[in-house]
Structure 1
Amino acid sequence: MSATLRAAWLIALLPLFAGCSTIGDWFDWSEEEDPRKPAELIDIDTRVTVDRLWSVSVGDGQGKGLYKLQPVLAGDMIYAASVDGQVRAVERNRGRTRWKENVENGLSGGVGYYDGNLYLGSADGEVLRLDAGDGSVRWSARLTGEVLAPPQGDGQVVVAQTYDGKLHGLDHDTGERLWSYDSNVPVLTIRGTSTPILRDGTVYAGFANGRVLAFDALTGAVTWEARVAIAQGRSEIERIVDVDGTMAIQGTELYAASYQGRVTALDIRSGRKLWQRNLSSFSGVSQGFGNVYVADDDGTITAYLRNGQGVRWEQPALGFRELSRPTPVSSYLAVTDYQGYLHLLSQVDGEFVGRTRVDGDGARADMLADGNVLYVYGNSGKLVAYEITPRD
């Protein structure tokens, strides 16, 4: 079992089993005995050049709380936030800091962006709306629990998901709460929540009970509900089916993956399942080249055909290395791991084409790509831009 997942489960278990003398035995494996020991890196045939364009430091990065604060691209800027409250606006081409602000709150979720506004969530349950021009706080609103994913806005509503299983809709101008939805939270969950998608007046959100729901953004009314995973097994650990990773939309199709469940394609208009495949993932899905990409929790990266007709390729060489969500960049696919290595694969066949190390503390936040430039935010706070080009 990977170190991150062990820690995530322990965080979920401790409130329930405080004082239990046997809990340590469940996770007391030596490196030699651990069936989920991370794979050693293999030598690869490097076929791309990975040039670092610039690097900046953003506060304490992810800190020690298993957070996954992720940056966001908007126009000629990239915005990033750290667990200790630093928010930084960086010119994406040169890496020059346009402004830097520190908010009083310890941040745990972000960064969301819409039309000159930034949205952040705090560990003590606050959502903040900031002016993207200078970092000033427009308003803050108190919610019911820790915000572990970027809130999203559309000029009318700001939506935020909290770790207690709730989804909240807030008035964009004032932060006043308009509605809340309370899901059925299982006994045990992985630490994290999915990032809501807000599009054309509809909110799409995944929950720890293995379901994805669509809501009317203004009223919070549920328009459809789909089950991505069904809890199975006798123990509560075996029954964990969180939809925690990033979802993706392409056209009228929504792709979502759950832990110990499935990757599923849904029709965004009705919630009808178009296809599904069994897997276990907590980092989420992406799409490109007619594929849907998922990193299984066992470290296997799989490219599923978008039409649901099967698997284009699999890459198992990064076993149990706690991979990030796969991110397409140009004709390649990028993933990072718990040691901070950036791995580049061909989108065509899944073969490795390049590798570099970004951050010795690891990198788990979703990466960003624009053309052949990739932006990686390491756990220690390093925000780095790389240009990926084929070798002659």
Structure 2
Amino acid sequence: MRFLRNIALLFLLATLAGCETISGFFEMGDDEDPQQPAELLDIEQQLNVRKLWSVGVGDGQGDGLYKLQPVIDGEIIYVAAAEGEVRAIERSSGNTIWRQKLKLGLSGGVGHYEDGLFLGGSDGLVMRLDADTGETLWTSEVSGEVLAAPQSNGRVVVVQTYDGRLYGFDYETGERMWRYDSNLPVLTIRGTSTPVLDGGVVYAGFATGRVLAFDALDGSVRWEARVAIPQGRSEIERIVDVDGTMAVVGTELYVASYQGRMAALDTRTGRKLWQRNVSSFYGVSQGFGNVYITEESGTVTAFLRNGQGIRWEQPALAWRGLTRPIPVSSYLAVADFEGHLHLLSQVDGEFLARVRPGKDGVRADMLADGTMLYVYTNGGKLIAYDIRPRS
């Protein structure tokens, strides 16, 4: 099984097409590689993208292809690094409020609810920290690596593991309340979806191409929806993981799968409201009446939320290993494997600005609030930008 998982990991790297080692491994020249990253063309800088501050946080994403995700709470940003460093940072200044160095490797986080922070370890641990001090309040065991941020509603902490399980833990004590086991395919993409807690319901996507809704307190299944159906003769062709971040808007849940579909589901029943054939493992976001997605190919697409089709497509960033698109003000931000930050119009997908936070690339979802955008690079730089039109 470990060997097959390693094959899946190589497959993901080859898909991202950003690593010279992979190209050299298959001995393909640039002209022969159908997934060669697109060259960046010059654009007209139509926005002022002002860097306000930058803070180094440990080793960032480390060497495990992690996507440790910062989180905002009011005037504080919480961020973690793979080597175990966790910080609370003042949004306005970038000053560190507190810093903790945990004695374990981190692979999933940061989740947040009121006075609690939640982190997952690479060796099968989940923990709650005090959001005011960083003190560890409890630690519990799970069966595998945690690759997404645990989520909570103040009564239960929900954790998804790479081996296809979903757990519910008591918010106060860390005692396990329930567990759900999915059937894990032979090959999977390295990653999991991030569970979504909406009131007393948990929505989670799995490597089977399915999305399930659970009762948050007892783990009972409320409904199940198939987003993608495995097709093809080889196990690689049959990978249909639901990875990345899902989005809830009212009674609609938006979700995307690899080698499958993007779908809008009714959160009450799981009924499909509409679907489109796509392949993505980055997750979805929404804004301006659109649902945004980065496809496997690197095309950024805006689908109309009402299911009436595509508003616009931007294919110029093909195979550049993009992040999930993040709306910021009236713009859309994506970052790539070389560390470039691209700002597009939410109206038509036109390029409006480009800056380079760092050469080590970006995998984690960016954070946005008003005109502010926060970028956490793979190498551990958390950077705050203020984005406004040029006068």
The answer to whether the 8 A contact 2:206-2:241 is kept is: yes
Residue in structure 1 matched with residue 213 of structure 2 by the alignment: 214
The answer to whether the 8 A contact 1:12-1:188 is kept is: no
Q: 1:93 Cα deviation (Å)?
A: 1.2
Q: 1:58 Cα deviation (Å)?
A: 0.6
Change (3 A) 1:28 1:219: farther
Q: 1:173 Cα deviation (Å)?
A: 1.1
Residue in structure 2 matched with residue 124 of structure 1 by the alignment: 123
Q: 1:33 Cα deviation (Å)?
A: 1.6
SS, match of residue 55 in structure 1: strand
Give the gaps of 5 or more residues in structure 1.
14-22
Residue in structure 2 matched with residue 169 of structure 1 by the alignment: 168
Distance in 2 between residues matched to 1:24 and 1:342, nearest whole Å = 24
Residue in structure 1 matched with residue 245 of structure 2 by the alignment: 246
Residue in structure 2 matched with residue 68 of structure 1 by the alignment: 67
Matched, 1:10 2:36: no
SS, match of residue 265 in structure 2: strand
- CA deviations on 1:248-278 (whole Å, 9 max, x unpaired) are 1111111000111111100111111000001
Distance in 2 between residues matched to 1:12 and 1:177, nearest whole Å = 33
- CA deviations on 1:48-80 (whole Å, 9 max, x unpaired) are 010001110110000111000010000110000
The answer to whether the 8 A contact 1:58-1:383 is kept is: yes
- CA deviations on 1:84-130 (whole Å, 9 max, x unpaired) are 00000000111111011011110000000001110000000100100
Which aligned segments of 4 or more residues in structure 1 are displaced greater than 6 angstroms? Answer: 23-26
Residue in structure 2 matched with residue 106 of structure 1 by the alignment: 105
Equivalent residues in 2 for 1:308-327, closer than 5 Å: 308-327=307-326
Residue in structure 2 matched with residue 47 of structure 1 by the alignment: 46
Residue in structure 2 matched with residue 338 of structure 1 by the alignment: 337
Q: 1:7 Cα deviation (Å)?
A: 7.8
Distance in 2 between residues matched to 1:157 and 1:104, nearest whole Å = 25
The answer to whether the 8 A contact 2:8-2:187 is kept is: no
Q: 1:181 Cα deviation (Å)?
A: 0.5
The answer to whether the 8 A contact 1:12-1:189 is kept is: no
Amino acid corresponding to residue 49 of structure 2 in structure 1: V
- TM-score, normalised by the number of residues in structure 2: 0.94
Distance in 1 between residues matched to 2:99 and 2:11, nearest whole Å = 32
Residue in structure 2 matched with residue 234 of structure 1 by the alignment: 233
Amino acid corresponding to residue 313 of structure 2 in structure 1: E
- CA deviations on 1:147-204 (whole Å, 9 max, x unpaired) are 0000011111001000000000111111111111011111100000010011111100
SS, match of residue 9 in structure 1: helix
Residue in structure 2 matched with residue 96 of structure 1 by the alignment: 95
Identity of aligned residues (%): 66
Residue in structure 1 matched with residue 277 of structure 2 by the alignment: 278
Amino acid corresponding to residue 278 of structure 2 in structure 1: L
The answer to whether the 8 A contact 1:6-1:27 is kept is: no
Equivalent residues in 2 for 1:280-295, closer than 5 Å: 280-295=279-294
Q: 1:31 Cα deviation (Å)?
A: 3.2
Distance in 2 between residues matched to 1:264 and 1:12, nearest whole Å = 23
Distance in 2 between residues matched to 1:141 and 1:370, nearest whole Å = 33
- CA deviations on 1:270-313 (whole Å, 9 max, x unpaired) are 11100000111111000000000000010100000000000000
SS, match of residue 119 in structure 1: strand
Matched, 1:360 2:364: no
The answer to whether the 8 A contact 2:194-2:246 is kept is: yes
Distance in 2 between residues matched to 1:338 and 1:357, nearest whole Å = 11
Distance in 1 between residues matched to 2:84 and 2:11, nearest whole Å = 22
Change (3 A) 1:89 1:351: same
Change (3 A) 1:338 1:266: same
Distance in 2 between residues matched to 1:246 and 1:27, nearest whole Å = 32
Residue in structure 2 matched with residue 225 of structure 1 by the alignment: 224
Q: 1:26 Cα deviation (Å)?
A: 8.8
> How many aligned positions are there?
379
Amino acid corresponding to residue 289 of structure 1 in structure 2: F
Give the gaps of 5 or more residues in structure 2.
14-21
Residue in structure 2 matched with residue 20 of structure 1 by the alignment: none
Distance in 2 between residues matched to 1:267 and 1:26, nearest whole Å = 45
Residue in structure 1 matched with residue 188 of structure 2 by the alignment: 189
The answer to whether the 8 A contact 1:51-1:387 is kept is: yes
Change (3 A) 1:6 1:171: closer
SS, match of residue 204 in structure 2: strand
SS, match of residue 45 in structure 1: coil
Distance in 2 between residues matched to 1:169 and 1:28, nearest whole Å = 46
Change (3 A) 1:366 1:7: farther
Residue in structure 1 matched with residue 31 of structure 2 by the alignment: 32
The answer to whether the 8 A contact 2:313-2:349 is kept is: yes
SS, match of residue 10 in structure 1: helix
Distance in 1 between residues matched to 2:383 and 2:225, nearest whole Å = 37
Residue in structure 2 matched with residue 148 of structure 1 by the alignment: 147
Q: 1:46 Cα deviation (Å)?
A: 1.2
